[in-house]
Amino acid sequence: MAGASHYSLPLPTFDKPVKVLIVVAPYYRDIADNLIAGAKATLDQAGATWDLIEVPGALEVPAAIGQAWRMANFDGFVALGCVIRGETTHYDTVCNDSSRGLTLLGLQGACLGNGILTVETYDQAAVRADPADQNKGGGAAAAALHLIALQRRWGGSRGNVGFRPASDETIQLAQGGDRA
């Protein structure tokens, strides 16, 4: 697309610390490393702190983010990885299901940026992952930061959306006890 331009929103600013979890599937290590570099640079530019974990593949990224969202104290999440079309339909399953999982988490209130590349060729992935070129890792981090800013603007997380372990009081009431 000759002459096409892309606009990126300026990064939000924060008055309280921001902590982000980067979850990466490093199947294509060099692509993953470039995505991570872009995400870290963007988070650092915004003054956010971050942790990084690796999971076996793109299908595990939403599961890891879901666990961290329920059990840890992160403000947002960056999903990174790369799926390159092969000779089987496995590509379609991995692309669709990882994206669906991340979308469902976002719709429930998790602030996340999706930087899982879904491409036809390695060369397409390399261009998209390169922090000096399309910088999709940085874009995913920026998306997470913008959603964190919106959540804070609108009053913060409602917390405990989804699975909640039962409290001792709930267990006692379920067993026929009273609130004494």
User: Which sequence positions are flagged as catalytic?
Assistant: 90
**Which of 157, 160, 135 has its CA nearest to residue 148?**
157
Kindly state the tokens that stand for 53: 């974990």
d(CA 54, CA 29): 11
Residue 54's beta-bridge partner residues?
Answer: 24
Q: For 19-50, what is the HEC assignment?
A: EEEEEECCCCHHHHHHHHHHHHHHHHHCCCEE
Q: How far is CA 5 from CA 1, 134, 135, 142, in A?
A: 9, 12, 15, 18
